[in-house]
């Protein structure tokens, strides 16, 4: 089995630093997600692990072996591409067995392995078909199957679900997760979709501008985002941000632009009154009633009371079981999430309650969490 270690790995394209010296350890048998907006360097990082992209500086080790200058085929890896990269002139069977054949595997063993993988993926009856005779989901499975046949220590995925329609994508998400539980090889998975990242990964690496912003389990990243970028990237609809400053008199609070003052259960900030901050709160932590519960199952804790914010409801977007409200308070517009049967209408004024236990403060310059 294999772990992957990246040490100060850097990639330049001319003057552009696509990946700016990152350190990353992918543990053995882990499902690790690289996620970030386009151009953040996640795909480049994956391609450097695969050996498709030269490393400008730094080292890559797979299972303790330095592979930085090895050819892709000598790295004990297999990869699933965004476009599936199936050979159009070969049958499914040949597509899956191609790499094994090139390695000179005996026919009987090769046949056994292809059929085994085909059974896992439900491709047995399609083995003699050509890729163009298959549906998108089936092609996707063939691409995964071709990678699985290699029995490589590390499986790399480059946005493999982005070409599927929404319904199939949800289905394949579950399939891939189940697959990981049964084959237990190390998987590195690149996506720009934060939902995919949250649902599939053992750990998530959030990248931006060629650097790593935060590494952690989905819950860690959700609960304790390291920066306003991470906080804004993970979560749907995204976190609301307001500019403000710390107020300490008579008790610690945050004074938002527009004169709205919210109490904070942060006695450690008593001495930094006047400090500029960015105040962040997720839509699911705003509720319509003081006694009501937010989406999170955390009850109002003793640390901080919910803060009342008078606001006007501007837009209502029903999602089905939930509804997203766009509201405006004196500090600016924000979004919140509530039950569909809340009985609220656009244009109405309401007192909304911010769960101050789930509020975040960020430094406006460094973006780091305070």
Q: Which residues of 90-126 are buried (b: 16+ CB within 10 A; e: fewer)?
A: ebbbbbbbebbeeeebeeeebeebbeebbebbebeeb
Least spacing, CB of residue 98 vs another protein, in Å: 5
Please tell me the count of residues contacting another protein according to CB under 8 A: 23
Is residue 13 within the footprint of another protein (CB under 8 A)? no
Instruction: For another protein, give the closer residue by CB, 27 or 130.
Output: 130
CB 257 within 8 A of CB 332: yes
Provide the minimum distance between the beta carbon of 121 and another protein in the complex, in angstroms, as a whole number.
Answer: 17
Residue 351, C-beta contacts closer than 8 angstroms, at least 6 positions apart:
308, 309, 310, 311
Stretch that binds another protein, among 76-84, 105-113, 120-128, 349-357 (CB under 8 A): 76-84
**How deeply is 54 buried, as exposed, middle or buried, from its count of CB atoms within 10 A (0-12, 13-18, 19+)?**
exposed
Residue 315 and residue 346 in contact, taking contact as beta carbons nearer than 8 Å: yes
Pick from 102, 108, 166, 302: which binds another protein (CB under 8 A)? Answer: 102
Contact call for residue 77 and another protein (CB under 8 A):
yes
Instruction: Give the nearest distance from C-beta 32 to another protein in angstroms.
Output: 19
The answer to whether the peptide bond before residue 32 is cis (omega within 30 degrees of 0) is no
Q: Which stretch binds another protein (CB under 8 A): 5-13, 81-89, 320-328, 333-341?
A: 81-89
What is the residue whose two structure tokens read 């699933």?
Answer: 80
**Under a CB-based contact definition with an 8 Å cutoff, are residues 206 and 43 in contact?**
no
CA distance 294 to 353: 9
- Name the one range near another protein by CB under 8 A: 4-12, 85-93, 195-203, 339-347: 85-93
Q: What mask, x for binding another protein by CB under 8 A, covers residues 202 to 221?
A: --------------------
Is residue 357 within 8 Å of residue 281, measured between CB atoms? Answer: no
Phi and psi at 309, nearest 5°, equal -130, 110
Q: Interface with another protein includes 303 (CB under 8 A)?
A: no
* CB nearer to another protein: pick between 73 and 184: 73
What minimum distance in Å lies between the beta carbon of 363 and another protein?
Answer: 41
88 near another protein (CB under 8 A): yes
List residues binding another protein (CB under 8 A): 50-52, 71-73, 77-79, 81-83, 85-90, 98-99, 102-103, 146
């Amino acid at each position: 089995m294999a772990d992957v270690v990246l040490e100060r790995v850097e990639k330049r394209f001319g003057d552009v630093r696509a990946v700016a010296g990152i350190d990353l350890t992918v543990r053995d048998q882990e499902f690790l997600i690289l996620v970030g907006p386009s151009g953040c360097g996640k795909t480049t990082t994956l391609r450097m692990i695969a050996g498709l992209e030269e490393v400008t500086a730094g080292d890559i080790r797979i299972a303790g072996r330095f592979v930085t200058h090895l050819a892709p085929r000598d790295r004990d890896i297999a990869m699933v591409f965004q476009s599936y990269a199936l050979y159009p002139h070969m049958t499914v069977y040949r597509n899956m067995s191609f790499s094994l054949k090139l390695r000179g595997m005996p026919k009987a063993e090769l046949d056994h392995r292809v059929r085994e993988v085909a059974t896992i993926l439900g491709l047995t009856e399609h083995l003699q078909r050509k890729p163009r005779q298959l549906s998108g989901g089936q092609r996707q499975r063939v691409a995964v199957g071709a990678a699985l046949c290699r029995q490589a220590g590390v499986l790399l995925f480059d946005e493999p679900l982005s070409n599927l329609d929404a319904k199939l994508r949800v289905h394949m998400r579950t399939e891939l997760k189940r697959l990981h539980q049964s084959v237990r090889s190390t998987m590195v998975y690149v996506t720009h979709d934060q939902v995919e990242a949250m649902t599939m990964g053992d750990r998530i690496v959030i990248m931006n501008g060629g650097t790593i912003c935060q590494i952690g389990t989905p819950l860690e990243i959700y609960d304790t985002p390291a920066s306003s970028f991470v906080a804004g990237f993970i979560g749907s609809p995204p976190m609301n941000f307001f500019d403000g400053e710390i107020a300490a008199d008579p008790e610690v609070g945050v004074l938002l632009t527009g004169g709205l003052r919210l109490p904070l259960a942060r006695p450690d900030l008593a001495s930094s009154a006047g400090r500029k901050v960015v105040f962040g709160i997720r839509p699911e932590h705003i509720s319509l009633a003081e006694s009501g519960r937010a989406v999170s199952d955390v009850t109002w804790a003793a640390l901080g009371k919910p803060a009342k914010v008078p606001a006007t409801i501007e837009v209502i977007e029903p999602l089905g079981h939930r509804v997203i409200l766009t509201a405006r308070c004196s500090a600016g517009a924000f979004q919140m999430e509530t039950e569909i049967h809340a009985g609220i209408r656009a244009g109405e004024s309401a007192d909304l309650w911010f769960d101050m236990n789930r509020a975040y403060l960020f430094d406006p310059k460094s973006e780091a969490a305070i």
